[in-house]
């Protein structure tokens, strides 16, 4: 009797253990099958630097096990066409949404070079090259200040900064997108310098703003300069290499050969009234 009872207990334990083992194996099998399920994932076909507008030749769809697919990985080629890389993407690397950005969504902050700040300058058509300054251009910034006292004027014009990048004109940042976003040449072909496509036509109003990229210490100086005098932008040629030129301040005497200090009278503002009312 005792042997029969022990046999029954052993059979029950064996059945329970076998069932538990089967459940475990089935669970592990389902988990492995789930993790190994192939999912369509986009990967880069070549090394892609930052600020590159993606097209269909730069990515391809491959099958990746679910376990190895990165979070927010993109699966459709149409999802990346026209988007811009914000960081490098290397050949074979999965293309994830967090490494891409659209110019419209990013706003001006996306185009500010690392280590610089965006500062707006109050300008008009007279001191901004007649309104020909475009986003993406580089300019020199001149300042005119009166160092005189009493009835005597001592007007001087100095070049405050040189080779400063323009980020936007009024609210237009479209041209800088065209300048920064580049086209990758085919594999094995050296990059060819391309003229940036023309941006939208922007005319400066009588009073508008041009935003430039400067380092923090330059931002302080420009903010002070705007309070002390009048600023003028000088447009640099696209064919001129980067760099600065040694200059001495221009004074009334060095410009006109007049030694006397004469009080400078700024041009008065006026309104044009038409009609009989």
Residue 270's pLDDT is 53
Q: If you average pLDDT over every residue of the chain, what do you get?
A: 76
Does any domain span residue 74? yes
Confidence of residue 203 (pLDDT cuts 50, 70, 90): very low
Residues 96 and 116 in one domain: no
Evaluate whether residue 17 is within a structural domain.
no
Domain identity same for 56 and 130: no
CATH of the domain at 44: 3.90.1210.10
The pLDDT of residue 173 = 62
Instruction: Please tell me whether residues 117 and 69 are part of one structural domain.
Output: no
**The pLDDT value given to residue 128:** 79
Least Cα distance to 112 among 189, 229, 213 occurs for: 213
Residues 116 and 180 in one domain: yes
* Structure confidence at residue 27 as a pLDDT band (50, 70, 90): confident
Are residue 209 and residue 241 in the same domain, yes or no? yes
Expressed as residue numbers, the domain containing 91 is 38-101
| Choice between 182 and 46, residue whose per-residue pLDDT is larger | 46
Whether residue 122 is found in the same domain as residue 93:
no
pLDDT at 102: 76
Q: What spatial distance separates the first Cα and last Cα of the chain, rounded to whole Å?
A: 124
Indicate whether 82 and 195 sit together in one domain: no
Look up the pTM and report it. Answer: 0.51
Residue 273 belongs to some domain of the structure: no
Average pLDDT over residues 135-149: 86
Per-residue confidence band for 197, with pLDDT thresholds at 50, 70 and 90: very low
Asked if residue 116 and residue 94 are part of one domain, the reply reads: no
Q: How many domains does the chain have?
A: 2
With respect to residue 69, please indicate whether it lies within any of the assigned structural domains: yes
Q: Is residue 180 over pLDDT 50? A: no
Give the mean model confidence (pLDDT) for residues 158-168: 90
pLDDT tens for each residue of 205-259: 556 788 999 999 999 999 999 888 888 898 988 887 777 777 777 777 777 676 6
């Amino acid at each position: 009797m005792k042997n029969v009872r022990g046999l029954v207990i052993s059979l029950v334990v064996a059945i329970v253990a076998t069932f538990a083992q089967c459940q475990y194996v089935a669970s592990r099998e389902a988990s492995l099958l789930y993790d190994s399920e192939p999912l369509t994932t986009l990967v880069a076909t070549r090394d892609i630097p930052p600020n590159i507008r993606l097209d269909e030749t730069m990515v391809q769809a491959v099958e990746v096990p679910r376990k190895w697919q990165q979070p927010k990985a993109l699966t459709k080629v149409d999802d990346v066409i026209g988007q811009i890389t914000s960081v490098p993407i290397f050949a074979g690397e999965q293309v994830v949404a967090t490494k891409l950005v659209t110019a419209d969504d990013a706003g001006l902050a996306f185009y500010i070079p690392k280590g610089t700040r965006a500062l707006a300058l109050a300008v008009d058509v007279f001191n901004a090259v007649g309104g020909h300054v475009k986003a993406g251009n580089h300019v020199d910034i001149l300042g005119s200040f009166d160092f005189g006292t009493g009835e005597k004027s001592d007007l001087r014009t100095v070049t405050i900064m040189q080779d400063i990048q323009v980020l936007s004109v009024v609210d237009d940042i479209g041209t800088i997108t065209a300048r920064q976003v580049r086209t990758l040449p085919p594999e094995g072909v050296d990059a060819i310098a391309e003229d940036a496509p023309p941006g939208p036509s922007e005319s400066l109003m009588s009073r508008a703003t041009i935003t430039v990229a400067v380092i923090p210490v330059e931002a302080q100086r420009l903010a002070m300069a705007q309070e002390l005098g009048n600023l003028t932008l000088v447009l640099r040629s696209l064919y001129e290499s980067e760099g600065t030129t040694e200059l001495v301040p221009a004074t009334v005497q060095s410009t006109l050969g007049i030694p006397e200090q004469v009080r400078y009278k700024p041009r008065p503002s006026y309104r044009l009234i038409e009609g009989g009312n």
